[in-house]
Amino acid sequence: MKISKLFEEHRPRFSLEVFPPKKNGGIETIYETLDGLKDLKPAFISVTYGAGGNIADNSTCEICSIIKNKYNIMPIAHLTCVNNTKADIDYILNELKTVGVENILALRGDINPDVPPKHDFKHADELVSYIKARGDFSISAACYPECHPDSDSMVSDILHLKHKVDCGAEHLVSQLFFNNEDFYEFREKCRIAGINVPIEAGIMPVTSKSGIMRMVSMCGASIPKKLAKMLNRFENNPKALEDAGIAYAIDQIVDLISSDVDGIHLYTMNKPYIAQRIFAAVESMR
Ligand code: FAD
């Protein structure tokens, strides 16, 4: 099914993100994750793409195939372009088409100072146009409620986002954020700029202080006072921090649903029990 069809009903959709197992983890470990997520009936499950790796080693396509063909759930394959040539992208698109994947989250990827970028694609908009020209896929893209860290201003970031949508992105998934007001302001600016595709809110449940600090240092998300207090209070009590992080995510989601969000995209971190607790808490609101 094409992604844009999913949002025609105008009720919030609930989707999930998983990542491929680490190199030595073995592909079979993903079955445990998916077994734990399947009964949540997500609108789709997206699978991240390890930027910079060897394309033939990348298991995103294989996992998408498992999600579609074994679990009967719609997959979305993430695909980054800054470290890929057009030939690499063609190879991956052919693989995805062969296994029946119809949806791609088209991304630039982070610039790694130790890995010189290839030169066929500079930004995600070029990948969106490239995939769109083939006509085989429905395309999603990323967006940033607190502005992408490389951007000089929110205005230029939103203008680039508008261009990405004009190139063919039919649906947006946001970077994680912890203050819903940031998301609402961003959504309003998008609508004013003429970005009218569905925007799903990316929610990451906090389960460890070091993990979340590493993540926000990479993506530039800010930590509101309420969350900072929670992290400090429970940093040495993992169970309490996990419970508090789940409660925080549920609180964010309830407020987002009350504010007519198009969808919630939960970063599961391959921990199904956390997604289960969050989905159970909001089941009646779906
Ligand atoms: P772009 O849209 O290219 O934007 C990057 C920067 O360039 C922004 O500052 C933007 O304003 C600017 N820009 C955009 N277009 C232009 C233009 N034409 N001219 C000049 N400037 C421009 N990374 C992975 O490696 N694997 C993943 O699976 C993955 N999944 C992700 C999923 C989500 C939902 C999100 C939010 C991020 C994900 N990332 C992933 C991280 C992502 O690759 C990085 O955030 C990356 O730095 C930017 O990717 P982008 O597609 O948003 O880039």
Report the chain's C-alpha Rg in angstroms.
18
Residue 52 has pLDDT above 60, yes or no: no
Q: What is the pLDDT of residue 131?
A: 98
Q: Is 15 helix (H, G, I), strand (E, B) or coil?
A: strand
C-alpha 108/C-alpha 229 separation (Å) is: 34
- pLDDT tens readout for residues 204-217: 999 999 999 999 99
**Ligand 1 centroid from CA 108, angstroms:** 5
Contact 142, 172 (CB under 8 A): yes
Q: What is the pLDDT of residue 4?
A: 80
Beta-carbon count within 10 A of 125 CB: 22
Confidence of residue 227 (pLDDT cuts 50, 70, 90): very high
Question: Which stretch of DSSP H or E encloses residue 62?
Answer: helix 60-69
In 3D, which of 145, 184, 138 has the Cα closest to residue 46? 138
Q: Which residue numbers are catalytic?
A: 17
**Ligand 1 centroid from CA 52, angstroms:** 14
Pocket of ligand 1 (CB under 6 A): 48-49, 51, 78, 80, 107-110, 123-125, 142, 148, 150-151, 156-157, 160, 164, 173, 175, 202
Domains of the chain by residue range: 3-285
Q: What is the pLDDT of residue 161?
A: 98
Q: Point out the least confidently predicted range of 2-6, 54-58, 216-220, 251-255.
A: 54-58
CATH of the structural domain 3-285, one choice from 3.20.20.220, 3.40.50.300, 3.40.830.10, 3.40.190.10: 3.20.20.220
Strands 138-143, 75-80: pairing kind: unpaired
Query: What DSSP character marks residue 249?
Result: H
Whose alpha carbon is nearest atom 52 of ligand 1? 142
C-alpha 169/C-alpha 41 separation (Å) is: 24
- pLDDT tens readout for residues 84-136: 999 999 999 999 999 999 999 999 998 888 888 898 999 999 999 999 999 98
**Ligand 1 centroid from CA 221, angstroms:** 14
CB neighbour burial string for 19-37, b if at least 16 within 10 angstroms, e if fewer: bbbeeeeeeeebeebbebb
